[in-house]
């Protein structure tokens, strides 16, 4: 068995690293009764996730609805307390939480949400939103002229030019794409090193998705940002991300460079995701809301997740070993960094 630790790492300084990240949401009483559980049942939303974000690279996190992607992003943004594991910023643990530590962390790691309308307050202008972000993070300068310059700079960075055309508008006066650009500008107001983008284009018209993804890619290059790109659309991961991680039922199942993961997938679940995309050659075409219901069966309950490999009830390749033993990440082929958590790639196989 070859450990994934032996695999060659891609270039780029590590900004953020999750180690064994775990989040279990306690189940409320009504649901406990429904599942006939008298113990302290929990939704196993994220289990033992390892993830690295590097400077100047986009990492896609791909999976069906409910696989735990947003929970990973919220954990990385420290919006949720974690059940277990650690998050390191430049190698420094974030286990010790505290007001000042958190503010420093929040400036370095910014989140962009799926719905730009919901994330902007409708009663305030763009100027208000951006000024607030700049001031909170100490980037507003020392006088009115410096603040105005900083406002212009963040809007220029997201190609909203000339800035004065947009600064005094309200969110409802902008298009969906422009609102998402403002949300990105607001995140940039913190001068971050990492952006966590949770389905940043899925609520936008198909015609403007590419523009927003190209903007993020441009920012990655110009500002040397580490970007986490969460999506249920594996085709867009191929187009946009340098690396792709695939998540199933709260666990990471495959990872590697995007070209390899999308063109030579190893894990049966990744293959299913690719096969169930409406048109494998289209990049950002007619996206479905998610890929649920189109594969072989349904994702499992995360209150009682299957033992062994969580994918085994749906997996066409499953053997007896898969029902009892949790697969470990294994190096695949000779592509640096490509791994899959699947017993098919272990010398002992799936145990037929
Ligand atoms: P989507 O693409 O639909 O957003 P996702 O892959 O981002 O899905 P999550 O939103 O992270 O998945 O949810 C993972 C699991 O955790 C789901 O079963 C969800 O119901 C559960 N979950 C998420 N947030 C909470 C919460 N606050 N309390 C209880 N359960 C939650
Ligand atoms: Fe399928 Fe077994 Fe591999 Fe899981 S470990 S994906 S069940 S073959």
The Å distance, Cα 24 to ligand 2 centre, comes to: 23
**How does pLDDT run across 322-349, given as a tens digit for each residue?**
999 999 999 998 888 999 999 999 999 9
CB 155 within 8 A of CB 166: yes
Which one is predicted more confidently, 300 or 49? 49
Taking alpha carbons only, the member of 137, 130, 147, 131 closest to residue 181 is 130
pTM, to two decimals = 0.90
**How does pLDDT run across 177-224, given as a tens digit for each residue?**
999 999 999 999 999 999 999 999 998 988 899 999 999 999 999 999
Best residue among 308, 342, 347 to mutate for probing ligand 2, ranked by most atoms within 8 Å of CB: 342
Considering every ligand atom shown, identify the ligand nearest to the alpha carbon of residue 80 and give its number: 1
Q: With the CA atoms of 296, 298, 302 and 303 taken in that order, what torsion angle do they form, in degrees rounded to the nearest 10?
A: -120
Check if 317 has its Cβ closer than 6 Å to any atom of ligand 2.
Answer: yes
Best residue among 350, 351, 352 to mutate for probing ligand 2, ranked by most atoms within 8 Å of CB: 350
Lowest mean pLDDT among 24-28, 106-110, 163-167, 242-246: 24-28
Ligand 1 atom at minimal distance to the Cα of residue 67 = 6
Give the largest Cα separation in the chain, rounded.
72
The pLDDT of residue 206 = 87
The pLDDT of residue 316 = 94
Q: At what angle do helices 176-188 and 126-136 cross, to 10 degrees?
A: 20
Considering every ligand atom shown, identify the ligand nearest to the alpha carbon of residue 70 and give its number: 1
Task: Supply the residue whose CA is at minimum distance from atom 28 of ligand 1.
Answer: 25
3-state helix/strand/coil string of the chain? CCEHHHCCCCCCCEEEEEEEEEEEEECCHHHHHHCCCCCCCEEEEEEEEEEEEECCCEEEEECCCCCCHHHHHHHHCCCCCCCEEEEEECCEECCCCCHHHHHHHHHHEEEECCCHHHHCCCCCCHHHHHHHHHHHCCCCCCCHHHHHHHHHHHHHHCCCCCHHHCCCCCHHHCCHHHHHHHHHHHHHCCCCCEEEEECCCCCCCHHHHHHHHHHHHHHHHHHCCEEEEEECCHHHHHHHCCEEEEEECCEEEEEEEHHHHHHCCCCHHHHHHHHHCCCCCCCCCCCCCCCCCCCCCCCCCCCCCCCCCCCCCCCCCCCHHHHHCCCCEEECCCCCCCEEECHHHCCCCCCC
The band of 70, judged by pLDDT with boundaries at 50, 70 and 90, is: very high
Check if 342 has its Cβ closer than 6 Å to any atom of ligand 2.
Answer: yes
Check if 332 has its Cβ closer than 6 Å to any atom of ligand 2.
Answer: no
**How does pLDDT run across 115-145, given as a tens digit for each residue?**
888 889 999 999 999 999 999 999 999 999 9
CA distance 77 to 87: 10
């Amino acid at each position: 068995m070859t450990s994934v630790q032996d695999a060659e790492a891609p270039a780029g300084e590590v900004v953020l690293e999750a180690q064994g990240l775990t989040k279990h949401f306690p189940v409320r009483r009504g649901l406990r009764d429904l599942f006939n559980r008298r113990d302290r049942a929990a939704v196993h939303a994220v289990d033992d996730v390892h993830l690295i974000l590097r400077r100047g690279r986009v990492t896609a996190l791909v999976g069906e609805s409910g696989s735990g992607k947003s929970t990973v992003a919220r954990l990385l943004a420290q919006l949720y307390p974690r059940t277990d594991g650690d998050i390191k910023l430049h190698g420094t643990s974030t286990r010790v939480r505290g007001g000042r530590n958190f503010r420093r962390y929040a400036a370095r790691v910014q989140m962009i949400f799926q719905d730009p309308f919901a994330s902007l307050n409708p009663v305030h202008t763009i100027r208000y939103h951006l000024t607030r972000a700049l001031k909170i993070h100490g980037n507003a300068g020392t006088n009115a002229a410096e603040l105005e310059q900083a406002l212009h700079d963040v809007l220029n960075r997201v190609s909203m030019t000339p800035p004065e055309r947009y600064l005094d508008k309200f969110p409802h006066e902008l298009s969906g794409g422009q609102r998402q650009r403002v949300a990105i500008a607001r995140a940039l107001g913190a001068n971050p090193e990492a952006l966590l983008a949770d389905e940043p284009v899925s609520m936008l018209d198909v015609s403007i998705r590419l523009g927003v993804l190209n903007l993020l890619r441009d920012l990655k290059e110009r500002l040397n940002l580490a970007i986490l790109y969460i999506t249920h659309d594996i085709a867009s991961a191929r187009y946009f991300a340098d690396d792709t991680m695939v998540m199933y039922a709260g666990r990471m199942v495959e990872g590697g460079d995007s070209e390899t993961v999308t063109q030579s997938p190893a894990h049966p679940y990744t293959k299913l995701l690719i096969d169930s995309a409406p048109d494998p050659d289209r990049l950002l075409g007619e996206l479905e809301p998610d890929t649920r219901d189109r594969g072989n069966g349904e994702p499992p309950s995360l209150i009682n997740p299957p033992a062994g490999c969580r994918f085994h009830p749906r997996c066409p390749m499953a053997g007896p070993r898969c029902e009892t033993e949790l697969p470990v990440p294994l190096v695949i082929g000779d592509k640096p960094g490509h791994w899959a958590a699947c017993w098919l790639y272990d010398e002992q196989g799936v145990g037929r």
